[in-house]
Amino acid sequence: MSLAVFLAILFAAALHAGWNALVKTGLDRFSSILFLGLAQAAIALLLLPFFGLPPSAAWPWVLAGSALHSGYKLALIRAYGHGDLSQIYPLSRGSAPLIVAVAGALFLGETMDLARTAAVAAIAGGIMLMAGKGGVTRIGLFWALVTAAFTAAYTLADGIGARIAGSASAFILTMIVLDGAIMLAYGLAARGRAGLVAMLPAWRPGVSAGAMSLGAYWIAVWAFTQAPLATVAALRETSVLFAMLIAVAWLKERPAPRRWAAAGLILVGVVLMRV
């Protein structure tokens, strides 16, 4: 992995942490995630004419990616219904790079040397350590792992699709628009038009968070075309570390020693990526 790709992924991780800190919309979890998806889709739709559509060979992966992203959001909503954000998020995100690493080795022939393997394991382990002690029900753990499976699946689909498309931009913008259409249909079925109208007062933070989220994943999909999927997937999850730093610096939170240890393990993984 080149230094430029490495730094770009870290920047994407910081963006990801930033929009998570920004999206204080006052909406319930379902509405917040739905609004984020719709905001992303609206921005992607405006940008799509400048980049064009991906070639026909990539469309199966565009369709698969959009369905998997929607599935991820719905599984995440279920997971949050059975556990706290501070525990569900690390569990669902931390295990995904390990799944991607195994799948990449088995199906894509993406082998990693010892240092990269240790880096992926250290980052994933550090993220899961962030979850803290206990407190997750069996059903919460189940939905967290389902969310992780969706994350790993859309990472593989997007990485393969962007490579086939030959343009990460055309691929991700088209995929995000379709993902937004799926979420819009689901939102109308679940809440009706009144539910969508109720989200409008939160449009300002929602649009800002949507733009940051789109930018973060746009960079990640581009990186999928430049480096092995597992290393990109692991490195982008350092967003958890950036989120903790934001909480300490701006929200004046005091993380427990366990979280500092987790942060140290993540940093070890980041250093190993550059060995």
Three-state SS string across the chain, please?
CCHHHHHHHHHHHHHHHHHHHHCCCCCCHHHHHHHHHHHHHHHHHHHHHHHCCCCHHHHHHHHHHHHHHHHHHHHHHHHHCCCCHHHHHHHHHHCHHHHHHHHHHHHHCCCCCHHHHHHHHHHHHHHHHCCCCCCCCHHHHHHHHHHHHHHHHHHHHHHHHHHHHCCHHHHHHHHHHHHHHHHHHHHHHHHHHHHHHCCHHHHHHHHHHHHHHHHHHHHHHHHHCCCCHHHHHHHHCCHHHHHHHHHHHCCCCCCCHHHHHHHHHHHHHHHHHCC
Does residue 255 carry a pLDDT above 70?
no
CA 243/CA 266 separation, integer angstroms = 13
What's residue 200's pLDDT? 78
Backbone angles phi, psi at 52, to 5 degrees: 80, 175
What is the reported pTM? 0.83
What's residue 167's pLDDT? 94
CA 131/CA 271 separation, integer angstroms = 22
Instruction: State what percent of residues in the chain have pLDDT above 70.
Output: 87
* pLDDT class of 219 with cuts at 50, 70, 90: very high
Chain centroid, CA 117 distance in Å: 21
Whole-number Cα distances in Å, 9 to 12, 105, 222: 5, 21, 9
Mean pLDDT over 182-187 rounds to: 92
* pLDDT class of 27 with cuts at 50, 70, 90: low
| Least confident window among 22-26, 97-101, 196-200 | 22-26
Whole-number Cα distances in Å, 130 to 14, 15, 18, 87, 193: 17, 19, 18, 7, 38
Nearest to 227 by CA among 148, 166, 159, 169: 159
What's residue 25's pLDDT? 47
88-117 pLDDT, tens digit each: 767 777 777 777 887 877 777 777 778 778
